[in-house]
Chain A
Amino acid sequence: MELLRLENVTKRFGGLVAVNKVSFTVEKGEAIGIVGPNGSGKTTLYNLINGVYFPGEGKIYFEGQDITELPTHARAPLGMARTFQIPRPFGGATTRENVAVGAMFGHAKASVDDALEMADEYLKMVEIYDKRDVEAAKLTPLEKRLMEVARALAMKPKLLLLDEVMAGMNPSDIDRLIELLKRVKEEEDISIVSMVEHLMHAITKFAERVIVMHQGEKLIEGPTMEVLNNPKVVEIYLGKKVV
């Protein structure tokens, strides 16, 4: 079953074509990795899926519904959630309140009391329950990322968009987070799209399929190991042999 479909999506900023005629689909319950070097259009792609920007051309469908020009706030209740490359906690509120906001306004549409209970549950899941009454601004960078994962999961999404969520984590934290995401994906039947710049190692453990972005275009798409060993992909990351 198809969950998300992009058709020839293009976004220009003045003369710069940030995303150029990108098409792909995400199936229900699938784990996809989007890789690409800095400036390849990954974050813009997320912002288009999320409704932060509207594409200049092309269409975006979620569960068959055309959401190309649906406002951002109307997308989360449909079952979309994301984390940010630079975490964006509601700094003055507690960690628990942050996660509760996700549960209240996302696909879960929980009441205040239920949302606060769900927040505790998800904070335990990402193992920062002991920070529940700490102001989110005072969390460490790692804890902020975990809080964002908890906040996104509390929305009970069908599609979870992770933006460089593992950047800056040490290998054992990455492994723990991957295990957690795999478990949640199975239990709650979530499709997860994870975007990374460098952490190929993490992507191989997690993604079933990989899309490589390069200069705003989709370069290649396919099974993880196959794609990452493709000579063109290796060239983008390591450069061409000069000798």
Chain B
Amino acid sequence: MTLYDKYASLIPVLLIYAVLFAIGISFPGMWQPVAFIMFYITLGQAFNIFLGLTGYVDFGYVAFLALGAYGMAIAVDSLGGANLGYGIILVGLILAILMASILSVAVGAVALRLRGAYFAIATIGVNEGFRYFVEGARLWGGSEGIIISGDMRNIFGRETANLISTFVSDILVFIIAILAAIMTILIMNRRMGYALMAVREDEDAAKVMGINVTKYKVMAFITSASFAGLIGASAWTLKMTYVFPSDVFLITYTVEAIVIVMLGGAGTLLGPVIGGLIYGILKYYLSITLPGFQLLILAPLLIVIVVAFPDGVVGAVRRKVTGSARKYLR
């Protein structure tokens, strides 16, 4: 395989990002819908690194976004007076990665010894447990959460704080989406990608082939969780300027992420982008035309996917395509 063949599948992904960005920037009123859709695409990209590449379903995934959100809030809240300027955002992002990845090591080291449904069940508890712990132990403000709008105004001034909330946070999500796509293709092209493919297809056979399955699963889990932390910090804390446990430890986001990855095509680079695009657009316009019913699309959508396209949209298209075009659909 040439270098171009190995990385060709990045082209359609980056093209979609660019088109979305151009639409958001050029047409008045389109930035918010684009940012909304982009959140789901990025969520899918991040979750795909674990769910798609390993085939394990983590029902506690949103806990990593939540910890990322708290990481950013804690950084701004406690270092607001340190005069770091934009550096505070960087500190927040780093803390978000740290907190999400520490939780993923703890959860992964225990739960990744379990297989299939047992892993899924074990992870449901993580999210709910963590939420009640935060509320019950009155950790990080307990159920009142952390509100950083005042700190943001003090650090950046009203104008800039507004800009960060309405624009910079969305730009960060775009950047995270690009980084997640690059990370995914890097993994897929390396030994790790082949190891995870083997884990996904037949974990016992993978072990016999000499693959340290636990090591690679944990690596994918930490990577995926770190991206989730970044998303939580940017798309939630910086955008909303507050973190409440009841908003961030919400299993709905995990289910949405599963739907996006499965709909687009688990384990492919383009899949979560297509999945996020379809899901984001559907949800956005349903919330306008049929407000309150938008979450109802989840169940029928998931059933349709499982029955009609078990490999997702990209997987189904890939089957039909032969020859050199396949390299764009990895």
Contact = CB atoms under 8 A, between A and B. Distances in A.
Interface string A73-117: 111110000101000111111000100111011110001110110
B197 interface: yes
Contact of B208 (A72, A111, A113): A72
B74 to A, nearest CB: 39
B320 interface: no
B210 A105 contact: yes
A51 B95 CA distance: 41
Interface in B184-226: 189-191, 194-195, 197-198, 200-202, 204-213
Contacts of A10: none
A50 interface: yes
Nearest to A151: B209
A93 B210 contact: no
Nearest to B200: A92
Nearest to B197: A93
A91 B194 contact: no
B190 A112 contact: yes
Contacts of A113: 1
B207 A90 contact: no
Given A88-B205, A112-B189, A73 B198 contact: no
A52 interface: yes
Contact of A155 (B204, B209, B213): B209
Contacts of A50: 208
Contacts, number: 76
A100 B1 CA distance: 13
Contacts of A97: 194, 197
B210 A76 contact: yes
A73 B213 contact: yes
A92 B207 contact: no
The main secondary structure of chain B at its interface with chain A is helix
Interface string B1-41: 10000000000000000000000000000000000000000
B191 A52 contact: no
A101 B194 contact: yes
B208 A82 contact: yes
Nearest to A93: B197
B198 A112 contact: no
Contact of A91 (B189, B190, B195, B201): B201
Nearest to A87: B205
B197 A90 contact: yes
A216 B200 CA distance: 34
Contacts of B206: 73, 90, 101
A88 B194 CA distance: 16
B194 A84 contact: no
B202 A72 contact: no
A112 B195 CA distance: 11
Contacts of B205: 84, 88, 90
Contacts of A77: 210
Contacts of A105: 191, 194-195, 209-211
B208 A92 contact: no
A88 B200 CA distance: 13
Nearest to A105: B210
B208 A76 contact: yes
Given A73-B212, A105-B210, A90 B189 contact: no
B198 A101 contact: yes
Contacts of B209: 76, 101-102, 105-106, 151, 155
B328 to A, nearest CB: 16
A106 B205 CA distance: 12
Contact of B211 (A73, A88, A107, A116): A73
Contacts of B208: 50, 52, 72-73, 76, 82
B211 A93 contact: no
Contacts of B210: 73-77, 105-107, 155
B187 to A, nearest CB: 12
Nearest to B267: A92
Contact of B202 (A88, A106, A107): A88
A138 B237 CA distance: 48
Nearest to B1: A116
Nearest to A72: B207
Given A77-B210, A91-B201, 10 more contacts: A74-B212, A90-B205, A92-B200, A93-B201, A101-B206, A101-B211, A104-B195, A105-B191, A105-B195, A112-B191
Q: Which 5 interchain pairs have the tightest Cβ spacing?
A: A76-B210, A90-B201, A105-B210, A88-B205, A72-B207
